[in-house]
Structure 1
Amino acid sequence: MLLGVRHHGPGSARAVRAALDEGRPEAVLIEGPPEADSLVHLTADEGMRPPVALLAHVVDEPGRSAFWPLAEFSPEWVAIQWAVGRGVPVRFIDLPAANSLARNEEEGDPTSGGEDAVRIDPLAVLAETAGYDDPERWWEDAVEHRAGGGDAFAPFEALGEAMGALREAYGDGGHGRDLAREAHMRLRMRAAQKEFGPDRVAVVCGAWHVPALRRKVAVAADRALLKGLPKVRAEMTWVPWTNRRLSRASGYGAGVSSPGWYGHLFGAPDRPVERWMTKVARLLREEDRLVSSAHVIEAVRLADTLAAMRGRPLAGLTETTDAVRAVMCEGSDVPLALVHDKLVVGDVLGEVPEAAPAVPLQRDLTRLQRKLRLKPDALERELQLDLRKETDAARSTLLHRLRLLGIGWGEPVRSRGSTGTFRETWRLRWEPELSVRVAEAGVWGTTVLGAATGKATADAVGAAGLADVTALAERCLLAALPDALPVVMRVLADRAALDADVGHLAQALPALVRSLRYGDVRGTDTAALGEVALGLAERLFVGLPPACTGLGAEAALEMRGHVDAVHQAVGMLGELTPDAGSGGAGSQGVRARWVSVLRVLARREAVAGVVRGRGVRLLLDGGELADEAVARLMGLALSRGGDPAEGAAWIEGFVGGGSGGGMLLVHDDRLLGLVDDWLSGVSADAFIDVLPLLRRTFSEYEPGVRRTLGELVRRGPAGGGVAVGGGGVPGFAEEIDAARADAVVATVRALLGEAPAGREGLVGAVG
Structure 2
Amino acid sequence: MTGSDRRGGGGAAAPLLLGVRHHGPGSARAVRAALDAARPRVVLIEGPPEADALVPLAGDAELRPPVALLAHAVDEPGRSAFWPLAEFSPEWVAIRWALEQGVPARFIDLPAAHTLAWEAPSVPDEPETEGAAGEPGPSGVRLDPLAALADVAGYDDPERWWEDVVEHRGAGKGDPFAPFAVLEEAMAALRETYGSGGHDRDLVREAHMRLRVRAAQREFTDGVAVVCGAWHVPALRRKAAVAADRALLKGLPKVRTDMTWVPWTHRRLSRVGGYGAGIASPGWYGHLFGAPDRPVERWLTKVAGLLREEDRAVSSAHVIEAVRLAETLAAMRGRPLPGLSETTDAVRAVMCEGSDVPLALVHDRLVVGDVLGEVPSAAPAVPLQRDLTRLQRRLRLKPEALERELELDLRKETDAGRSRLLHRLRLLGIDWGEPSASRGSTGTFRETWRLRWEPELSVRVAEAGVWGTTVLAAATARAETDAVATPGIVEITALAEHCLLAELTDALPTVMRILADRAALDSDVGHLAQALPALVRSLRYGDVRGTDTAALTEVAAGLAERVFVGLPPACAALDADAAEEMRRHVDAVHGAVGLLGGAHPPDRDGLRGRWRAVLRTLSARDTVPGVVRGRAVRLLLDDGELAPPEAARLMGLVLSPGTPPADAAAWIEGFVGGGSGGGLLLVHDERLLGLVDAWMTGVPAEAFTDVLPLLRRTFSAYEPGVRRSLGELVRRGPGAVGRAADAGTGVPGFAAEPDTERADAVLPVVRLLLGLDTDDNELVGAGT
Give your verdict on TM over 0.5.
yes
| Helix, strand or coil at the partner of 2:308 | helix
Which whole-Å CA distance do the structure 2 matches of 1:275 and 1:702 have between them? 51
User: Structure 1 residue aligned with 2:176, among 145, 152, 156?
Assistant: 152
Residue 310 of structure 1 corresponds to 333
Matches within 5 A, 1:218-297: 218-297=241-320
Partner amino acid, structure 2, of 1:38: A
The alpha-carbon distance between structure 1 residues 330 and 649, as it changes in their structure 2 partners (threshold 3 A), is closer
User: Structure 1 residue aligned with 2:486, among 446, 452, 463?
Assistant: 463
Which whole-Å CA distance do the structure 2 matches of 1:552 and 1:124 have between them? 59
The Cα offsets for residues 631-657 of structure 1, whole Å up to 9 and x where unpaired, read as 222222223223333222222111113
Structure 1: segments with no counterpart, 5+ residues: 108-116, 581-585, 725-731, 736-767
Partner amino acid, structure 1, of 2:109: D
Asked if the contact 1:717–1:733 (Cα under 8 Å) also holds between the matched residues in 2, the reply is no
User: Structure 2 residue aligned with 1:172, among 196, 216, 224?
Assistant: 196
How far is 1:290 from its partner? 2.2
* Residue 26 (1) aligns with residue 56 (2): no
* Residue 617 (1) aligns with residue 634 (2): yes
Partner amino acid, structure 2, of 1:77: W
Which whole-Å CA distance do the structure 1 matches of 2:463 and 2:328 have between them? 54
User: Structure 1 residue aligned with 2:85, among 60, 64, 70?
Assistant: 70
Q: Which moved more, 1:332-341 or 1:300-309?
A: 300-309
Asked if the contact 2:296–2:323 (Cα under 8 Å) also holds between the matched residues in 1, the reply is yes
Asked if the contact 1:716–1:733 (Cα under 8 Å) also holds between the matched residues in 2, the reply is no
How far is 1:46 from its partner? 1.1
Partner amino acid, structure 1, of 2:403: E
Which whole-Å CA distance do the structure 2 matches of 1:709 and 1:127 have between them? 67
Q: Which moved more, 1:287-296 or 1:525-534?
A: 287-296
Q: Which moved more, 1:604-613 or 1:467-476?
A: 604-613
Residue 479 of structure 1 corresponds to 502
Partner amino acid, structure 1, of 2:201: R
Which whole-Å CA distance do the structure 1 matches of 2:539 and 2:357 have between them? 46
Residue 721 of structure 2 corresponds to 704
| Helix, strand or coil at the partner of 1:165 | helix
Residue 536 of structure 1 corresponds to 559
* Residue 57 (1) aligns with residue 72 (2): yes
| Helix, strand or coil at the partner of 1:290 | coil
User: Structure 1 residue aligned with 2:103, among 54, 70, 88?
Assistant: 88
Structure 2: segments with no counterpart, 5+ residues: 1-15, 123-139, 749-784
Which whole-Å CA distance do the structure 1 matches of 2:426 and 2:45 have between them? 38
Residue 676 of structure 2 corresponds to 659
Which whole-Å CA distance do the structure 2 matches of 1:626 and 1:66 have between them? 68
**Number of aligned residues:** 712
The Cα offsets for residues 426-446 of structure 1, whole Å up to 9 and x where unpaired, read as 111000000001111111111
Which whole-Å CA distance do the structure 1 matches of 2:682 and 2:156 have between them? 67
How far is 1:131 from its partner? 2.2
Asked if the contact 1:260–1:346 (Cα under 8 Å) also holds between the matched residues in 2, the reply is yes
Which whole-Å CA distance do the structure 2 matches of 1:255 and 1:681 have between them? 68
The Cα offsets for residues 696-740 of structure 1, whole Å up to 9 and x where unpaired, read as 322322333334333333434779x9799xxxxxxx9969xxxxx
The alpha-carbon distance between structure 1 residues 688 and 272, as it changes in their structure 2 partners (threshold 3 A), is closer
Asked if the contact 2:740–2:746 (Cα under 8 Å) also holds between the matched residues in 1, the reply is no
Which whole-Å CA distance do the structure 2 matches of 1:240 and 1:334 have between them? 30
Residue 11 of structure 2 corresponds to none
Give the alignment's TM-score, normalised by structure 2: 0.88
Residue 332 of structure 1 corresponds to 355
Matches within 5 A, 1:356-435: 356-435=379-458
The alpha-carbon distance between structure 1 residues 684 and 15, as it changes in their structure 2 partners (threshold 3 A), is closer
User: Structure 2 residue aligned with 1:38, among 31, 38, 53?
Assistant: 53
Which whole-Å CA distance do the structure 1 matches of 2:248 and 2:352 have between them? 57
Matches within 5 A, 1:674-693: 674-693=691-710
Asked if the contact 1:715–1:734 (Cα under 8 Å) also holds between the matched residues in 2, the reply is no
Which whole-Å CA distance do the structure 2 matches of 1:377 and 1:691 have between them? 52
Asked if the contact 2:272–2:280 (Cα under 8 Å) also holds between the matched residues in 1, the reply is yes
The Cα offsets for residues 36-80 of structure 1, whole Å up to 9 and x where unpaired, read as 111111101111100000001111111111000001111100001
| Helix, strand or coil at the partner of 1:50 | coil
The alpha-carbon distance between structure 1 residues 661 and 298, as it changes in their structure 2 partners (threshold 3 A), is same
User: Structure 2 residue aligned with 1:196, among 220, 228, 237?
Assistant: 220
Asked if the contact 2:687–2:735 (Cα under 8 Å) also holds between the matched residues in 1, the reply is no
How far is 1:327 from its partner? 2.4
The alpha-carbon distance between structure 1 residues 694 and 328, as it changes in their structure 2 partners (threshold 3 A), is closer
Residue 520 of structure 1 corresponds to 543
Matches within 5 A, 1:539-688: 539-577=562-600, 579-580=601-602, 586-688=603-705
Which whole-Å CA distance do the structure 2 matches of 1:106 and 1:130 have between them? 33
The alpha-carbon distance between structure 1 residues 573 and 92, as it changes in their structure 2 partners (threshold 3 A), is same
Partner amino acid, structure 2, of 1:674: L
Fraction of identical pairs, as percent: 79
The alpha-carbon distance between structure 1 residues 271 and 707, as it changes in their structure 2 partners (threshold 3 A), is closer
RMSD: 2.1
Residue 207 of structure 2 corresponds to 183
Which whole-Å CA distance do the structure 2 matches of 1:307 and 1:692 have between them? 59
* Residue 10 (1) aligns with residue 34 (2): no
Residue 378 of structure 2 corresponds to 355
How far is 1:118 from its partner? 7.8
How far is 1:620 from its partner? 0.4
| Helix, strand or coil at the partner of 1:63 | coil
* Residue 126 (1) aligns with residue 141 (2): no
The alpha-carbon distance between structure 1 residues 690 and 277, as it changes in their structure 2 partners (threshold 3 A), is closer
| Helix, strand or coil at the partner of 1:104 | coil
How far is 1:210 from its partner? 0.4
Which whole-Å CA distance do the structure 1 matches of 2:263 and 2:372 have between them? 7
Which whole-Å CA distance do the structure 2 matches of 1:412 and 1:646 have between them? 40
